A and B are shown apart, each in its own frame.
Chain A
Amino acid sequence: MSITALHATTSPADMGERKPKSPGFLYNPNRVAHSLNQLGLGYFSPFARLIGNDEPRKQIRVIMHNTLLPVMAFVGFLFFWALMSRTVQTESVTIPGPHQAYYALTGKAIPGLPHPFPGNVAGLTAPYFVENDGRDPKSINGFARAEELAEENYVKSRDERVENFLEKSREAAAAGDLEKAGKYRENLLMFASKTYQGNKTFYSQILISLFTVTIGFIIATIVAVPLGILCGVSPGFNIAMNPLIQLFKPVSPLAWFPIVFVLTTWGIETPASDSIWQRALWTSAGVVMLCSLWPTLINTAVGVASVDKDHLNVAKVLKLSWMKRISKIVLPASLPMIFTGLRLSIGVGWMVLIAADMMAQNQGLGKFVWDMYQNGDTMSTAQIIVAVFVIGIVGFFLDRIMLVFQRLVTFEDQAV
């Protein structure tokens, strides 16, 4: 079916009263707006219609309405925040205001305002040399670049040592002292296998957090969906599982942590120091899994249990086997509910992850927040505020991604 024909079928009511200037052969504002809505970016659909010249006055009114109110609320929040930062002051820490937070992020003062942290020169995302006054980079309280430099320096000095030992062992071997040469070799191998163990940069901490939550979420899904299907299919199994589900669902991640910690210590061999599969990561992912599995489990069970009776009758009439009944009828019919559960789960998982990272000392955003809290000065608190915003934004995008999946599996007319 061509684009024009589709357009004609989507808006038959418009045809009579308002003839579109052109059928929108290449750019159909209706379809673009619809896709944006499907992607959870409904805010932008009036813009898409405006570009397509579809009732421009109305679109501008909608845009103003949708933009002005949130902007006003946000400005109000900024004022309140700035006011708080002037009021709440302890001996060592002041609540940092928007200005300080902006500085902590970018390493630049807002033009026209005084430098908020005299003595510090870099922000989380700023390259250290922006305002480098020639001091040793290690003394600079900047993250993005300073951590990278620290790692580079470490690798450089390690390689120098390895070279040194190699030379010494060769010399010793040439001199005929094999025992000494062997010792040098041992040292050489020990240094060669070592990797940088210091803090990661802020960027890589975000990535590690995302990686950890993904691992936890995948394990949770693998556990929860089959269990949920069993619960939905078999009332007996459901009754048996119900007390356990009700009991463990409200448990805090902080309570799970010690148990998961013991489990990972017992079950996972000490990985190589440069491996990404550190024990802390498994512990963190395990806690995420234990807390985020319940919404998926419950939604899957409800979705499977409430499959339309007519659809099950189809399975009966066709004499489908148990496996086929599940795979061809029950699972597709309950996919919308399962994905609603997955969306809730990833929200819970991301929220829990920060606490889990803090406890497990996994190199993610939680550890960043914890380290900055231990620093305990205003600059560090400002960096925590930046982290709070980052956590919120990442969580928002995770939710939107799951929303897209959720809409993809939801069939249009459920009541067929």
Chain B
Amino acid sequence: MAYIEINDVSVGFGSGTNRVEVLKGIDLHIEKGEFVALLGYSGTGKSTLMNLLAGLILPDKGEVLVNGERVTGPGRDRGLVFQNYSLLPWLDVYRNVELAVNEVFPHESKVSRAERVKVAIERVNLTPATSKKPGELSGGMRQRNSVARTLSMNPEILLLDEPLSALDALTRSVIQDQILSIWKELDQTTILITNDIDEGLYMADRIIPISVGPPATLGPETIVCSPRPRDRREIMSSPEYQVLRTDVISYLLAEKERERAASSSRTVFLPNIRPLDISRHRPGWFLGFRPQPRKTIQSA
């Protein structure tokens, strides 16, 4: 039995005629200590899948198992790093982390809790900005703060929901390396959601593309077996990397094509109307004013 199991899970939102199936028949098994990347276009239900794992939403059908136990709500064994940081803007870096530490380790002494906060902040290299508030931080620093908050909870599973998508490419690669070194050090099972193929290939052991929904399903997985630690330049120039990249891209492109074909097969009938000539149309009274028609060359 795998460490994390998602068995035939379906989720939809809305009800009646407004109901949209977001995920359908998802099966996913993840081993302990694995780094898995889920790759897909935006709006395909990646975040929904993540919320399922975090326990923020529950599946309509099927089940999510972690360590053999059914997920029925959020748990402290699963740390979620939000896409939009979700820092509390009235707290500084230290207190944002402290909030989580106080919640997860309420029985520890003050000193050891303070130590945990410090270690988490140090791990993401934010120590110089300890007393700054989110409003004073750059995007990358905010995300590192958010990662530090999650790490401080000492979760067994790290759920990263597009953590780097709002950052510029340079900052992104720096934080990618930070996340990798933390992963290597703490040996957490990590699930990364991303829309960047290179990010997935560089960081993950396995890449699983998500089809274009709704409802979305999981595509064929790609196993990345480049040895770690990986060197960015080296692997990018290697032929295997190019092959993997092409594979994933062609799957995603084919998905897009399929979706486009599916949506264009529907014929939309336009109503038989003629556009109105505003220069000839005389609107009625509006708030006590009667707008005068615009003078055009024809009417003059």
Cβ contacts under 8 Å, B75 to chain A? 319
Report how far A310 CA is from B75 CA in the complex, Å: 17
Q: Mark B120-154, 1 if CB is under 8 A from A, else 0.
A: 00000000000001111000001000000000010
Question: A318 contacts B100, CB within 8 Å?
Answer: yes
Cβ contacts under 8 Å, B91 to chain A? 332
Please pick, from A313, A319, A411, the residue contacting B76 in the complex, using a CB distance under 8 A.
A319
Residue ID in chain B nearest A310 by CB atoms = B86
Question: B133 contacts A313, CB within 8 Å?
Answer: no
Taking A316-B56, A317-B74, A413-B134 as contacts, is the C-beta distance between A311 and B99 under 8 angstroms?
no
Within 8 A of A (CB), among B85-132: 85-91, 99-100, 103-104
A13 within 8 A of B: no
B202 within 8 A of A: no
Question: B84 contacts A318, CB within 8 Å?
Answer: no
B39 within 8 A of A: no
Within 8 A of B (CB), among A322-363: 324, 328-329, 332-333, 335
Categorize the interface residue count of chain B: 20 to 34
Report how far A310 CA is from B80 CA in the complex, Å: 12
Q: Please classify the interface of chain B as helix (H, G, I), strand (E, B), loop, or mixed, using the class held by over half of its residues.
A: loop
Please pick, from B74, B82, B104, B135, the residue contacting A411 in the complex, using a CB distance under 8 A.
B135
Question: B103 contacts A320, CB within 8 Å?
Answer: yes
A416 within 8 A of B: yes
Taking A310-B82, A313-B82 as contacts, is the C-beta distance between A318 and B89 under 8 angstroms?
no
Question: A318 contacts B86, CB within 8 Å?
Answer: no
Q: Mark B242-284, 1 if CB is under 8 A from A, else 0.
A: 0000000000000000000000000000000000000000000
Report how far A413 CA is from B89 CA in the complex, Å: 7
Cβ contacts under 8 Å, A328 to chain B? 99
Report how far A48 CA is from B85 CA in the complex, Å: 38
Q: Mark B53-65, 1 if CB is under 8 A from A, else 0.
A: 0101000000000
> In angstroms, how far is the closest chain A Cβ from the Cβ of B159?
9
Question: B88 contacts A332, CB within 8 Å?
Answer: yes
Cβ contacts under 8 Å, B153 to chain A? 318
A314 within 8 A of B: yes
Please pick, from B73, B87, B104, B135, the residue contacting A412 in the complex, using a CB distance under 8 A.
B135
Closest 6 CB pairs of A and B: A413-B135, A310-B86, A412-B135, A416-B134, A416-B89, A411-B89
